[in-house]
Amino acid sequence: MKYYFIAGEPSGDLHASNCMKEILKLDLDSQFAFTGGDLMQKVSGLAPIIHIQQMSFMGFVDVLKNIFIIKNNFKIVKDSISKFKPDVLILVDYPGFNLRMAKWAFKKKIKVNYYISPSVWAWKESRVEQIKKYTNKLFVILPFEEDFYKKHNHKVYFVGHPLIDAINQQKPNFKSKPNFILENKLSEKPIIAVLPGSRIQEIERMLSIMIKVASHFTDYQFVFAGSSNLSKKYFSDLEKHNIKVVFNQTYELMSYAQAGIIKSGTSTLESALFNLPQVVCYKTGALSFLIGKRLVNLKYISLVNLIMNKLVVKELIQNDFTVKNISDELFKLLNNQDYRNNIISNYNQLQIKLGGAGASKRIAETIVSDYKTAN
């Protein structure tokens, strides 16, 4: 069977690669083509049609700036799909691109499965009708999404969150804490993990503020998680402040840290799965923020708070993202044991809501079974 995956971001690369692994176990004749990243390339042994480095744009303004690149990406992918002739097209998150691709594929009579629902519950609820029309199956990973789609008379498949699988796979390969410290030339001070994001725009807007916070906590060492999707030059300022950066060791960093300063996104949920008390931060361009504020109808931005439907972790967004506010919250996370315990207790409840391990396996079984039944 021929499978074409479209992932456009690091998280999509991770989840699609795990789905590929499970498909390979079930379908010995499987063939892949895809847009994605290094993880998908490692599993398949193939180079992506387009790498996520050429696909990952954030915010309305950045999309407009790169509109010609995005249009060209559409053409490249369409031509590639037409040539590959897949039995199924598997779209992974990345809605701005993938919903348009679903419409095109539907017209070409290509079977479309969507893995990780677009956040239609947050904004553009009208897109539900597009999803219903253009996709054969929709796999959702957040527990409240089932009820949301039921309200729209659309059957979806809640498969659990794939991050649980991703973390469980990597834990056995973790270095011990002493080896982690030794190999990364860290000190013996307690660690504060800083995850500034994986996009250039995020680094440019948030890194300097995060660096300044470190000077307020001299009894701790701040360790930044560098993204392999970015050139190391974007982290060069950290060396001037004697702050360490570790690459491709984010989960180990979360595991050994006392607290985290975490950019809003998938990493907030990852931090929760490691029981890491955190302050969630986010800053985008002023115009993008104003547009987004008008369009998005959410009480919270972090996945932890959205899933729990209450404020579990502090969110510092846009103008609230300041050195003082981060420092104040970090002080509480490090020194108020009752405050920490309450966060950890909520993390435990969150894990139960997420449905347990096996998301990638359940999706692969459904996709492969559908093909075998049809043939």
- Average pLDDT on 210-224 reads 91
Q: Does 375 have pLDDT greater than 80?
A: no
Would you say 130 and 163 are in contact if contact means Cβ atoms under 8 Å apart?
no
Q: Does 172 have pLDDT greater than 80?
A: yes
Q: How confident is the model at residue 291 (pLDDT cuts 50, 70, 90)?
A: very low
Same domain, 223 and 334: yes
The distance of Cα 167 from the centroid of its chain, to the nearest Å, equals: 13
Q: Does 278 have pLDDT greater than 70?
A: yes
Q: pLDDT tens digits, residue range 116-161? A: 988 877 667 778 999 999 999 999 999 889 888 988 898 899 999 9
pTM above 0.85, yes or no: no
Same domain, 173 and 127: no
Same domain, 145 and 186: no
User: Which pair of structure tokens corresponds to residue 187?
Assistant: 């000190």
Total count of domains within the chain: 2
Q: Write down the pLDDT at residue 297.
A: 60
Helix (H, G, I), strand (E, B) or coil at 298: coil
What is the domain range of residue 67?
2-160+358-374
Q: Does 304 have pLDDT greater than 60?
A: yes
Please give the residue that has the higher pLDDT: either 228 or 289: 228
Please, what is the average pLDDT of the chain?
88
Same domain, 143 and 237: no
- Average pLDDT on 226-233 reads 69
Q: Does 287 have pLDDT greater than 60?
A: no
Q: Let me know if 155 is exposed, middle or buried by CB neighbors in 10 A (0-12, 13-18, 19+).
A: exposed
Amino acid of residue 247: F
Same domain, 10 and 94: yes
> Which of 1-15, 203-217, 239-253, 293-307 is predicted with the least confidence, judged by mean pLDDT?
293-307
Give the integer Cα–Cα distance in Å for 357 and 339.
28
- Average pLDDT on 315-321 reads 88
Same domain, 54 and 94: yes
Give the integer Cα–Cα distance in Å for 30 and 303.
34
Q: Read off the CATH number of the domain in which 79 is found.
A: 3.40.50.2000
Q: What is the DSSP string of 91-133?
A: EES-HHHHHHHHHHHHHTT--EEEES---TTTS-TTHHHHHHH
Main-chain dihedrals φ then ψ at residue 246, nearest 5 degrees: -115, 140
Amino acid of residue 123: W
Q: pLDDT tens digits, residue range 231-251? A: 666 677 777 777 889 988 999
Same domain, 216 and 265: yes
Q: Does 362 have pLDDT greater than 60?
A: yes
Could you tell me which of 271, 274, 273, 277 has the C-alpha nearest to residue 258? 277
> Which of 160-164, 186-190, 224-228 is predicted with the least confidence, judged by mean pLDDT?
224-228
Q: What is the DSSP string of 300-363?
A: -SSHHHHHHTS--SEEEEGGG--HHHHHHHHHHHHH-HHHHHHHHHHHHHHHHHTT-S-HHHHH
Please provide the size of the chain in residues.
375
Same domain, 263 and 225: yes
Q: Which long-range contacts (CB under 8 A, 24 or more apart) does 320-324 make?
A: 321/206, 321/209, 321/281, 321/282, 321/283, 322/209, 323/209, 323/212, 323/213, 323/216
Give the integer Cα–Cα distance in Å for 52 and 30.
23
Phi-psi region of 89 (alpha: psi -120 to 50; beta: other; left: phi over 0): beta
Same domain, 190 and 309: yes
Question: Could you give the percent of the chain with pLDDT greater than 90?
Answer: 62
Same domain, 215 and 318: yes
Same domain, 93 and 226: no
Same domain, 323 and 310: yes
